[in-house]
Amino acid sequence: MAYAITRTCCNDASCVSVCPVNCIHPTPGEPGFGTTDMLYIDPAACIDCGACADACPVDAIFPVDRLAGPDAPYAELNRRWYEQNPTDHAWGAPDFPRSLPDGFGELTVAVVGTGPSAGYTAQLLLRTTGARVTMIDRLPVAGGLLRHGVAPDHQSTKRIGESFATTYHHPALRMHLGVAVGEDVTHEDLTAHHHAVVYAVGAAGDRRLGLPGEDLPGSLPATTLVGWYNAHPGVPADAVDLGAHAERVVVIGNGNVAVDIARILLSDPDDLARTDIADHALAALRDSRVREVVLLARRGPEHAAWSEPEFLALAHLAGAELVVADEPGVREAIAAAASPGSTGSSGSSGSSGSKAALLVGLPVEAVDWAAAPPPGGRRIVLRFGAVPTELLGHARVEGLRVTGPEGADGNADGEGGGSVIATGLVVRSIGYRGVPVPGLPFDETSGTIPHDGGRVVDPATGLPLSATYVVGWAKRGPSGGIGANRDCAQETVDALLDDAAAWQLPTPAHPIQDFAHLVRRRQPEALGLRQWRAVDRTERARGEETGRPRVKLATVPELLASARRFRR
């Protein structure tokens, strides 16, 4: 019986390297890797050895005959991918570990960030070069997007953090948390104590709509709501109000983050109580008045941005109905996707009709947008072809005006044209955006750090900056799942090692040991690895008392208090 990869796939290709018959694709270097929804096992070539399941860091691989419930469709999804993407499973060129040139000495590297891209970068450096690595984060807690971005009900996805946790015990690793580059230490400080610096700072900002009323209370970026339910220390407990005015929540966007938000807002709090969701968010969700979440998309269903696994998880959300708003062109798009000759489910074909095919069989209903949600249970409404133009309200958001995709709407309602969706909470989920790092170039258009193969470059000359590198979303923009950072980190580390082999990395002016003294002088509240392990133990112990994986400390004072009893 063959194995199949399921919805929690992280795309980091750990399974690819252990498969004896190379039947898991796309592999690193193949088209689609890093952008595909997930990886796929060819059932015709699988020899049922189970090596992939043992290697999977997120427990996403199971024998086909054990798939049930929400995972049941994945046997067919794996098979269909190879129907649409034939491959002969030929082996690529072997990849050998890198090494430093004789006489180079001990390589020292600073990695700014502690999220997945930083974790993969540190792993590669520690495992293949014997380097000494210093990890730095502006927050007094490690984990980055893995801790503060992954939805709390995706606990299996968070298991990839266990591989990074082993890295934190490496004797050649040092960590400084609560240290802001550009404020507490500078880029020049980092290069003065290390051969190279890798920036893995992610994309902490959010994109704005630029609409009237966007700054009204009740209008939030997705970064705030996601940070709120994930106990981000920079997001206060009262940042999100789910009171009576929020019976209908409109989420502008239909990517994976928007789907996460809809799912969390309508999940059974008793189910969430078994996760690491922030305590303040869990309490608010227990008292929540939210009964309907609208996922608003500018274009038609064939252009939906969610991944197939995320959508299937939404479709199986217990206690919540999933419906499609009956808007012009929607029925036709769904019918076209269901017709003979359509590509059907998405696989990784990238066809425009594939996402619309996921809606086949869902109820398509007319919605009275000016009224409150209908009485009864909870529901998620998918509305396509609606362009937001204005947030309405006085003291807070009371509605969202939208027009059709061409700027016209047949259901005019009030001044300004278009139609109005009655809502008290609007969340814009239109993408994350990188923020500038003091001392480094920044591309305002893409929201990324300019680079060439991971080497940070001066945009004025196109030449690389000395000993300065970038990885992750700060490098390629906010795209790709957690596992995509592994291949991205490999490219950047290869560039760094190429420069080391060519003797292009300058010798640090000061020994790496002096950097810790500098940090203590500049930021006395900084936490080290021992303190972070103490915080981790505290959170896990709190979780054991209540049957949860951990209970997060949600504020900076709580985190510091937990760590203070341990000296550096």
Binding residue numbers for FAD: 117, 145, 181, 473, 480-482
Of the candidates 100, 99, 101, 123, which has an alpha carbon nearest to the alpha carbon of residue 111? 123
Element of type H or E holding 228: helix 222-229
| Residue 185 DSSP class | B
Q: At what angle do helices 116-128 and 484-501 cross, to 10 degrees?
A: 40
Tokens of 330: 């929607």
Of the candidates 137, 259, 245, which has an alpha carbon nearest to the alpha carbon of residue 201? 137
* Binding region for NADP(+): 254-257, 298-299, 310, 480
CA distance 391 to 373: 19
Cα–Cα distance list, 424 to 269, 443, 537 (Å): 21, 35, 40
* Binding region: 117, 145, 181, 254-257, 298-299, 310, 473, 480-482
Cβ 41 vs Cβ 64: under 8 Å:
no
Tokens of 76: 């067919």
- Burial grade of 172 (CB within 10 A; 0-12, 13-18, 19 or more): middle
**HEC profile of 487-550:** HHHHHHHHHHHHHHHCCCCCCCCCCCHHHHHHHHHHCCCCECHHHHHHHHHHHHHHHHHHCCCC
Of the candidates 116, 11, 2, 15, which has an alpha carbon nearest to the alpha carbon of residue 56? 15
Cβ 386 vs Cβ 301: under 8 Å:
no
